[in-house]
Amino acid sequence: MSRVRRSVSLRLANSLRVESVAEEYVEASDASELCAVLGRARRDSVPVTLLGGGTNVVPLRRIDGRVVRMASRGMSFRRCRGGVRVTAAAGESWHRLVRECLGRGLAGPENLALIPGTVGAAPIQNIGAYGRELSRWVSGVSVVDTVSLETSVLDASACAFRYRDSVFKSEEQGRYVVTAVALDLRDDPPESGYPELARELARLGRAPSPAWVAEAVIRLRRRKLPDPRQVGNAGSFFKNPTLTVDAFDRLRGRLDIPGFQDGARVRVPAARLIDVCGWKGYRTGDAGVWSRHALVLVNHGGASGREILDLAYRIRDDVAQRFDIELHLEPTVLGRG
Ligand SMILES: Cc1cc2nc3c(=O)[nH]c(=O)nc-3n(C[C@H](O)[C@H](O)[C@H](O)COP(=O)(O)OP(=O)(O)OC[C@H]3O[C@@H](n4cnc5c(N)ncnc54)[C@H](O)[C@@H]3O)c2cc1C
């Protein structure tokens, strides 16, 4: 049974590199160990907070209760109808999964190369990049229900995947712990239509094979996003908002901004709105906005989670005031203080 440690610093366990102390911390190496950990927390009446790679969270000074991290490893690849089923444990690195797929000549998740974090967290916000989202391939998400402690497998429709959202992040937040994810890869034709990606492939002078799409994506990400090992950050801090067609037309009358159809609405890049408001490169103390990408908030060294969050709220309020558009945070705020 895994050991519960007390007063554990999470500074190196979150990509914003902000100081945060977990009252208790424990790792589970598989689903049965997780059930024991959750059972013990319930017996002790201790709240549980899940943590993966810490790349999409804003930890505040203190997290009460027990922080639980899935440390399970393992991947399997087996033929299924029309393709290959890839099953990976929650604690695996997402990018390693993408590399393993590429190494086996399996097409699909190459547009999601270099997204940091774990496989277990990938369904939480239905990770996506450069025109593709995880939900496209999910055949099942293995979970432990924190209420009943029962294990089950949710199919894609039960996961209710949406843009940067799912049942795990909204309707049933905190109810399920993901222990494994199964993806069915069916030799997708490469997706290279995303304008920035198409330009990078053209620059590389390469046809869009899965390997070259991954290469182009990795180059773009390295150019645009700060490496969390050097500059603390949590990737995009806000989701791209959607507008009615009328509101989008009005906005376009005020500034040059692209729009992407999303059902009956139009999704617009939050980065453009933040940039127009003049926040790119802004810094207050050690909290700032990345100079090459207005959607990325950074910790220049000693910022706290609260300072990063306060800056995010100032940006959100400014965009709301100028454009009457509400921005929503993408990362999850953990703890208090
Ligand atoms: C530089 C950078 C670039 C990024 N680019 C992208 C991008 O292009 N697209 C994108 O979608 N995201 C992106 N992200 C965000 C992040 O990488 C993803 O959301 C990733 O899936 C988070 O994984 P994690 O293991 O770090 O999760 P964490 O940050 O540890 O947790 C995220 C949420 O999931 C919950 N959680 C974690 N593990 C489990 C589990 N096993 N079961 C249940 N709940 C769990 C946590 O409680 C928390 O609410 C980026 C982040 C960074 C730092």
The verdict on domain 232-334 having CATH code 3.40.50.20 is no
- Cα 305 to its chain centre, rounded Å, is 17
Partners of 267 in the β-ladder: 242, 260
Unique residue bearing structure tokens 């990770």: 127
Tell me, yes or no, if 164 is annotated catalytic.
yes
- Out of 17, 66, 164, 316, which one is annotated catalytic? 164
Residue 214 burial (CB < 10 Å; 0-12/13-18/19+)? buried
Ligand 1, CB cutoff 6 Å, lining residues: 15, 50-57, 70, 90, 115-118, 120-122, 124-125, 127-129, 168, 177-178, 225, 228, 233-235, 332
How is domain 75-185 classified at the CATH fold level?
3.30.465
Per-residue confidence (pLDDT) for residue 187, from 0 to 100? 85
Number of helical (H) and strand (E) elements in the chain, helices listed first: 8, 20
C-alpha of residue 203 to centroid of ligand 1, in Å: 30
Distance CA 32, CA 106 (A): 31
Give dist(CA 292, CA 281) in Å, integer.
8
* Range(s) within the chain of domains with CATH label 3.30.43.10: 5-70
Concatenating the DSSP letter of every residue in 32-89 gives HHHHHHHHHHHHTT--EEEESSSSSEEE-SEEEEEEEEE----EEEEEETTEEEEEEE
Residue of 15, 55, 164 to test ligand 1 pocket, by largest number of atoms within 8 Å of CB: 55
Q: Does domain 5-70 have CATH number 3.30.43.10?
A: yes
Give distance in angstroms: CA of 115 to centre of ligand 1. Answer: 9
**CA–CA dist 11, 258 (Å, integer):** 37
Note if 265 is an active site residue. Answer: no
Rounded Cα distance between 70 and 50, Å, is: 8
Task: Give the distance (Å) from ligand 1 centre to CA of residue 118.
Answer: 7
DSSP calls for 269-337: -HHHHHHHTT-TT-EETTEEE-TT-TTEEEE-SS--HHHHHHHHHHHHHHHHHHH-----B-SEEESB-
Give, for ligand 1, the residue of 97, 124, 231, 290 to mutate: max count of ligand atoms closer than 8 Å to Cβ. 124
**Secondary structure (3-state) at 223:** helix
Binned average pLDDT, 10 residues per bin, the chain of 337 residues: 91 98 97 96 95 98 98 97 95 98 96 98 98 97 96 98 97 96 93 93 90 96 96 98 97 96 96 98 98 98 98 98 98 97
Ligand 1, closest atom to CA 176? 43
Say which of 135, 192, 236, 304 is annotated catalytic. Answer: 236
Give the contacts of 23 (CB within 8 A, at least 6 positions apart): 6, 7, 62, 63, 64, 65, 66
Task: Kindly report, as residue ranges, where domains of CATH 3.30.465.10 are found in the chain.
Answer: 75-185
Q: Which amino acid residue places its CA nearest to atom 10 of ligand 1?
A: 127
Ligand 1 closest atom vs CA 331: 32
Q: How far apart are CA 146 and CA 125, in angstroms?
A: 19
Q: Decide: helix, strand or coil at residue 18.
A: coil
The dihedral sign for the CA sequence 308, 309, 314, 319:
positive
Q: Give the pLDDT of residue 165.
A: 97
Please give the number of the atom of ligand 1 that sits closest to the Cα of 51. Answer: 30
In ligand 1, the atom with minimum distance to the C-alpha of 125 is 19
Query: How many CB atoms are located within 10 Å of the residue 31 CB?
Result: 19
